[in-house]
Chains A and B, each alone.
Chain A
Amino acid sequence: MLEKSRLKSLFIALLVVLSLTNGKAHASDANGSGEEQEAFNVSETIMHHIKDAHKWHLWGNEHKGTSIYLPIIIYNKGFKVFSSYHFYHGNEIQAFDQKTLKPVKYMSGVGPAQGYAIYHEKIYFIGNGALMIEDGHVVGNEKPLDLSITKNVVFMFLACIILCVLLFASAKVYRRNGAIAPKGIAKFIEPLVVFVRDDVAKENIDEHKYHKYVPYLLTIFFFILICNLLGSVPLIGANLTGNISVTLFLATCTLLVTLFSSNKNYWKHIFATPGVPVALLPIMIPIELLGIFTKPFALMIRLFANITAGHVIILALISIIFINKNIAWGALSVPMALFISFLELLVAFLQAYLFAMLSALFIGAAVEEGHH
């Protein structure tokens, strides 16, 4: 092994190199070298990077660069499956917004995608006609049922595969060797699992009942953690937990677990909160009933907004280079983006822990035995 001082200087050199080659900075070479197509629209670029897409754009220009074209699966009186290549390399149609009269562009499909058009990553059925766009929204064209494998779906599969590989490998260590001090990947997973079991589940849920809920809490914790970390990967990350549908589903899972494991004591607390004079009950009952839903709602919004806000900040900082069209601004924006990326790592862990802890709190309140 190298001696300590050389190791230290190697580490510092690595850190400097990593901070200078923050993946996003390379994108400026493809665009800013004199090619003045259109003014750089910051909010549209940021929205494009945050939203879901039917292709996985890796690097290069938006239309001519390298992307993985994901399959599109739509149901319109029968399933149709084709690659999104037929959309993104189809006919680009110039139209006019019927209300604001601004020019808009949308892509119409060719080949198997004939008869459909894509606008802002949503698929519409146009047949032989055209998209009618009014005030930024499409009116009058029907949308087929869209079950495509989009970028977010690919990343969810990836997160599931990573989860399964990590946790099955850890389980194999214990299955082979019994209850020993862990070796291999289990050395990394065990503190996290014990942490969730002891400090999150046992603290908040009744001591005799917490065993049943530990698998659910572990799944929530690891899934949110891995999804957050995947989203932070610079060039090829997808904004998975920053998609409100994903967090909506996770919050709904917590709500369902809470409702299905609630006991009589919980409902008694909602309909007849102890210590409340009877005259106030007509006000308290609707509030408590609403409270059942606002708590998971807050979970959903908290996770979504934290992760999306982090991504927006990083994208906005990198966009400073593009707005000023001069790579020298990178000296300011890349270190700031690096700092915010570290903060994002902290936020990833913290939000996963917080979601799991608040879920445990709600479940604990639902299974709590009364004292009287």
Chain B
Amino acid sequence: MYGSIAAIAAGLAVLGAGIGIGQIGGKAVEGIARNPEASGKITTTMIIAAALIEGVALFGVVVGFLGGAK
């Protein structure tokens, strides 16, 4: 039973990451639409921010792993 609670916990963490990275992607696309010349810088910033948020989400997944394994 604890395995499935751990799985739900990991899923919730990924939910937060999905919302966050989705927002970043959306704002990045808006920024590029407004200013196509800055697309290189915007893309780089977007990728960095996405990787940082993914790091936090993977904290949650790792804790899920720890909870699921005995």
Contact = CB atoms under 8 A, between A and B. Distances in A.
A301 B70 contact: no
A369 interface: no
Interface string A235-262: 0000000000000000000000000000
Interface string B39-55: 00000000110011011
Interface in B5-53: 47-48, 51-52
A305 B61 contact: yes
Contacts of B62: 301, 304-305
B56 to A, nearest CB: 8
A306 interface: yes
A119 to B, nearest CB: 15
B47 A306 contact: no
A357 B48 contact: yes
A135 B69 CA distance: 12
A367 to B, nearest CB: 21
Interface of A is mostly: helix
A136 B62 CA distance: 20
Interface string A217-250: 0000000000000000000000000000000000
Contact of A354 (B48, B59, B61, B70): B48
A305 B51 contact: no
Interface string A338-358: 000000000000110010010
Contacts of A305: 55, 58-59, 61-62
B70 A136 contact: yes
Contacts of B58: 301-302, 305-306, 309
A192 interface: no
A260 B55 CA distance: 26
A298 interface: yes
Nearest to A303: B55
A40 to B, nearest CB: 18
Given A135-B70, A136-B70, A309-B61, A301 B48 contact: no
A370 B55 CA distance: 30
B47 A350 contact: yes
Interface in A288-319: 298, 301-302, 304-306, 309
A304 B62 CA distance: 9
20 contacts: A135-B70, A136-B70, A298-B55, A298-B59, A301-B58, A301-B59, A301-B62, A302-B51, A302-B54, A302-B58, A305-B59, A305-B61, A305-B62, A306-B54, A306-B55, A309-B58, A350-B47, A351-B51, A354-B51, A354-B52
Interface pairs A-B: 4 shortest CB-CB? A305-B58, A302-B55, A354-B51, A305-B62
Interface of A: 135-136, 298, 301-302, 304-306, 309, 350-351, 354, 357
Given A302-B55, A357-B48, 15 more contacts: A136-B70, A301-B58, A302-B51, A302-B54, A302-B58, A304-B62, A305-B58, A305-B62, A306-B55, A306-B58, A309-B58, A309-B61, A350-B47, A350-B51, A351-B51
